[in-house]
Amino acid sequence: MAKLAPRLVTFDVFSALLDIQSSLTAIVQETLNMRKDTAAQFARGWRQAQMARAAASNSLGKGRTSFKDCTRIGLDYALGKSGRKADAATRKKLVAAWGTLTPWPEAPAVMQAIKKKGYVTAILSNGDQDQLDSVARVFGHSTFDHVLSSETAGFYKPHPSVYELPTRVLGVGSKDILHVAGGAGDVLGAAAFGLTCYWSNRTGDLPLDPALGPTFQGKDLRGVLKLL
């Protein structure tokens, strides 16, 4: 396989780099005193509602609803659906936990290896700027050279303005970027924008649109190293 030589490697955060489901399940189980299976179901519902609200933000014509607010709204929806209540302090703690989610097991080592190869790296994510800065610190001070948030674009993925951020902010052309995606929606947006895209496809999912699929894919982040 021919090696790639991108000027910039961008990473989705909340699917590609972080294990959302396991992290949220543990946090919900402890904070809301749930059984593990109940907490896992709650975490899935919370994430789905959060993403649905973010997607609606792209279409409502009222500006970008902050990711933190989408997260809070999704949490309140999940609480309502499960018939549970939580006070303001508990809800605040759960929302804040999105800044400290656990990376996938191989993620730190893969990131270190990419940096050792000399590549410039950036987060390119739906999260708010302050949340993403917190995530970047989880990986260490020098792991990411840039942190690009949808907050700057004013829209959420898969809106093209998010994928335009590396060009708009950093001056790197789309043909010089390798984007590492974790979810089918991110793959769709990256492909539509013309980015070379590696999909860390842990669940064996299918592209939402076969005409806008990934350039490469593998079962986890280690596949990225084979391309560089």
Q: What pLDDT, on a 0 to 100 scale, did the predictor assign at position 2?
A: 64
How many structural domains compose the chain?
Answer: 2
Over the chain, what HEC string results?
A: CCCCCCCEEEECCCCCCECHHHHHHHHHHHHCCCCHHHHHHHHHHHHHHHHHHHHHHCCCCCCCCCHHHHHHHHHHHHHHHHCCCCCHHHHHHHHHHHHCCCECCCHHHHHHHHHHCCCCEEEEECCCHHHHHHHHHHHCCCCCCEEEEHHHHCCCCCCHHHHCHHHHHHCCCHHHEEEEECCHHHHHHHHHHCCEEEEECCCCCCCCCHHHCCCEEECCCHHHHCCC
Listed residues 99, 128, 147: the one ending a domain: 99
Q: What pLDDT, on a 0 to 100 scale, did the predictor assign at position 1?
A: 59
Are residues 12 and 117 located together in one domain of the fold? Answer: yes
CATH number at residue 183: 3.40.50.1000
pTM of the prediction? Answer: 0.94
Q: What pLDDT, on a 0 to 100 scale, did the predictor assign at position 38?
A: 97
User: Which structural domain range is residue 62 located in?
Assistant: 20-99
Mean pLDDT by 10 residues, the chain (228 residues): 89 96 96 96 98 97 97 98 96 93 97 97 97 91 95 98 98 98 97 98 97 98 97
